[in-house]
Amino acid sequence: MIEYYHQTLFMTNEITAPHKDFESIKKIDENGVEYWTGRELMPLLGYEKWQNAEEVISRAARACINSGQAVDNHFTKSGKMVQIGSNTVREVRDYKFDRYACYLIAQNGDPRKSEIAIAQTYFAIQTRRQEIFEQLPDTAKRVMIRQEVTDQNKKLFKTAKGAGVTKFGLFNDAGYKGLYGMPLSDIEQKKGIKKGELLDRSGSTGY
């Protein structure tokens, strides 16, 4: 129980500055997997020139291969359209990195850069958090998911209130309609669960 308590504290500690920069550029794909793009990440690591950034990315990719991992599962090539003149655009190379790729990039960056030291700490902590989360029993995972959603909803409602929203029940239901295509009451009926149980079922098969 004491070990679980410390693990939960470790998992729920908020990211503080300057690590918030990495959180602010994190994205989530259509499968719910988090990723960072190279063009946004590398300047935060102190690499303003893309040529220098690609050298670090290449070293990290080799480290990924040497560790026995499939590099394409962690380093995904992509393109980005940028404007280079009046009504003229061209495609530049970019990447999508998962957390493991970012960790390897930070480990293979210039250790003299303070930005690299910050990145090493951030991605090491995030990787360890995920490892701990995966080891937790399903009940503990659901408790943490519920708490995270509750905390995020508080922030969302505060922002909505500042924007003039007054009917928070309708506002909240609109969020479920956006995710599931139906109001919360219909979701609960379709899944055969009691009122207020949806978050507790998060992470379970079929939910």
Average pLDDT over residues 64-91: 85
What does the mean pLDDT of the chain come to?
A: 75
Task: Judge whether residue 86 has pLDDT over 80.
Answer: no
Q: Is the pLDDT reported for residue 10 higher than 60?
A: no
Q: What is the mean pLDDT of residues 139-149?
A: 58
* Co-location of 84 and 27 in the same domain: yes
**Residues 86 and 166 both lie in one domain:** no
Question: Does 97 share its domain with 84?
Answer: yes
Q: Among the three residues 83, 106, 135, which one is the final residue of a domain in this structure?
A: 135
Which range has the top average pLDDT, 88-92, 106-110, 138-142, 152-156? 106-110
CB-based burial, 171-203: b 16+ in 10 Å, e otherwise = eebeebeeeeeeebeebbeeeeeeeeebbbbee
Q: Are residues 100 and 146 in the same domain?
A: no
Verify that 117 and 166 share a domain, yes or no. no
73 SS3 class: helix
Tokens of 36: 């960072």
Q: What number is the average pLDDT over the span 119-139? A: 72
Q: Which of 21, 1, 22, 4 is nearest to 127 (CA)?
A: 22
Q: Distance between CA atoms of 108 and 120, rounded to whole angstroms?
A: 10
121: pLDDT strictly greater than 50 = yes
Residue 171 CA: distances (Å) to CA of 7, 10, 74, 163, 167:
34, 32, 37, 12, 6
In the chain, the amino acid numbered 135 is Q
In a domain, 8, yes or no: no
Residue 133 pLDDT > 50: yes
Q: Is 115 in contact with 19 (CB distance < 8 Å)?
A: no
What's this model's pTM, rounded to 2 decimal places?
0.55
The answer to whether residue 158 is domain-embedded is: yes
Domain of 142, in residue numbers? 138-201
> Is 38 among the domain residues?
yes
- Res. 195: pLDDT tops 80: no
Banded model confidence at residue 164, pLDDT cuts 50, 70, 90: confident
Distance CA 17, CA 38 (A): 21
Q: Which of 100, 135, 170 is the last residue of a domain?
A: 135
pLDDT of residue 124: 81
Report DSSP state, residue 34: E
Give pLDDT, residue 14.
Answer: 47
pLDDT of residue 19: 57
8 Å CB contact between 64 and 74: yes
Average pLDDT over residues 26-53: 91
Q: Which residues pair with 81 in a beta bridge?
A: 91
Q: Does one domain contain both 147 and 131?
A: no
Q: Does 165 lie in the same domain as 108?
A: no
**How buried is 56 (Cβ within 10 angstroms: 0-12 exposed, 13-18 middle, 19+ buried)?**
buried
**187 and 97 in a common domain:** no
3 inside domain: no
Q: Of 135, 158, 190, which closes a domain?
A: 135
Structural contact between residues 62 and 104, judged by C-beta atoms closer than 8 angstroms:
no
Reply yes or no on whether the pLDDT at 41 is more than 90. Answer: yes
Total domains in the fold of the chain: 2
Do residue 36 and residue 113 come from a single domain? Answer: yes
Q: Is the pLDDT of residue 158 over 50?
A: yes
